[in-house]
Structure 1
């Protein structure tokens, strides 16, 4: 998710867990911890391709973040010695915020290595667009109320509304997957795999990308489309451009990272490999 969402979600969780006992400290530390995993974007990993495919790698490991939770809790009690008796509460806060921020990223299309180092596959369960105002605004309002008005109740309401919206989005993801399977089969659209993800800023419109040999297709489905047929557009993947490049390490890394959802093209004498899961066809 975007940085504002991660910051406000962390702050809202921190406030909900410990705000009544330590005041704004819980909100502030929640915001810091919620942002922490995504700071890996500032760590150079050797090449632009490595920076791309290993983003959300070790920093998003549920195993690593769980192990670090008591460490962060200990550091916080060193900053605020008067809260040392609340060590277990701080540990719960760090655990929930760190792992919660990772699980939010898991629900976007990009991919997250939640099982690192045992499994470096980037997992994704596309449920939310990377920026979704309907998820972010309730927690932003709730956090603002807690910060400026010391209103704990509004923070709880905002967090509850956002989590309710998240449950809705998860349900929509399951519904859309089933609907796409039915419609693609009914219309005789060939595919070996497909993936659906929300369109920008909404969960009412979904984009589906599918692969069939040297071609891929793109289609959109809205919750209001009902039984209307899909408009399916096919495009060439230009796999012939991969000749002699398949074993090239950057290409192999991108092929694994995209899970096969890629296309090749030529631009200004260079070969370009595109992740089809992100963006859209003009």
Structure 2
């Protein structure tokens, strides 16, 4: 999730655990700091754009390592504020802040390696977009209330309500995702499309409009299928559009290290294509929409794939038309997506 959400969650959790045992501003401040720490891995440059992607949310987001780090951070905080008797409370508070960060990240589709060093599997529920005001706002309001209200008990109640509402929203997102997936699978069967894997993720900033990507059962099938589904759509079948996924290129180059690495990280939701200048390109189908995706990587010329560091090329539709379309389509209006022109 975005930094503001993680800061707000960290502050809210720390305030909730510490309560009146320490000053609210102390709990909020250290909660915000601990809620930010796991994302500092973004400053590490592995010398390769694709590696930077798949190694983000790795050790710094692993529950095992964060659990080991929590008592050290709690000891530092209790020493700084001369609150030695509160060490165990700080330990619990900061441990919860540290582990809720990757757990919240795992609600997005990116891929969070929660169980390192035991497995590097990238967990991703995919029911939340990386930025969603409906999740973050209750947390911010609760934390601000706890910091500013003269009645401490009332402020702590506001903070608790913010945590309850934001957590309930996460649960709602999973239920909505499951509903859309069932609807999409029914439509695929009715249209005679056999799908081995399906990805259901929300369009930006909300959980009413969902993007569905289906991969075929047949590995030789050259297409993947994409659709948008609103919770307010009528009973009509979901309308899927077929797009090329580069199966011939995958058959030839799929064993190359950068391709197999991203394919494993993305759960197979990738496509291969060539650029006008003869570069092989791999695209993560999970984040974006056809034809514009955040994570495209140039892998070098076809005869030398993987011989040089990968380069990331991000694409996105024009922001204004895209947001206006989402704002209308999420209420069930049957509108074609405006993904025709890219912004520079």
Same fold (TM over 0.5): yes
What do residues 17-75 of structure 1 show as CA deviations (whole Å, max 9, x unaligned)?
A: 11421111111111111111111111122311110111101111111111221121112
What do residues 96-133 of structure 1 show as CA deviations (whole Å, max 9, x unaligned)?
A: 11111111000001011001111112111111111000
SS in structure 1 of the partner of residue 224 of structure 2? strand
Measure the CA separation in 1 of the matches of 2:177 and 2:73: 34
Equivalent positions of 1:1-282 (< 5 A) are 1-23=1-23, 24-81=25-82, 83-149=83-149, 151-212=155-216, 213-242=221-250, 244-269=252-277, 270-281=279-290, 282=339
Q: Offset at 1:180?
A: 2.1
Q: Offset at 1:244?
A: 4.5
Measure the CA separation in 1 of the matches of 2:186 and 2:65: 40
User: Normalized per residue, which structure has more helix?
Assistant: 1
- The 1:183–1:243 alpha-carbon spacing in structure 2 relative to 1, beyond 3 Å, is closer
Structure 2: 5+ residue stretches without partners: 291-338, 340-344
SS in structure 1 of the partner of residue 118 of structure 2? coil
Over aligned residues, Cα RMSD in angstroms? 1.5
Measure the CA separation in 2 of the matches of 1:152 and 1:39: 29
| 8 Å Cα contact 1:19/1:27 also seen in 2 | no
SS in structure 2 of the partner of residue 20 of structure 1? coil
Provide TM-score, normalisation by structure 1: 0.95
What do residues 163-219 of structure 1 show as CA deviations (whole Å, max 9, x unaligned)?
A: 121221122222222222222212222222111011111111111101123211101
Provide TM-score, normalisation by structure 2: 0.78
SS in structure 1 of the partner of residue 212 of structure 2? strand
What do residues 229-263 of structure 1 show as CA deviations (whole Å, max 9, x unaligned)?
A: 11100001123234543232212211111111111
Structure 1 residue aligned with 2:320: none
SS in structure 1 of the partner of residue 200 of structure 2? strand
Task: Give the number of equivalent residue pairs.
Answer: 281
Measure the CA separation in 1 of the matches of 2:142 and 2:167: 13
SS in structure 2 of the partner of residue 22 of structure 1? coil
Q: Offset at 1:226?
A: 3.8
| 8 Å Cα contact 2:66/2:99 also seen in 1 | yes
Stretch moving more, 23-32 or 245-254: 245-254
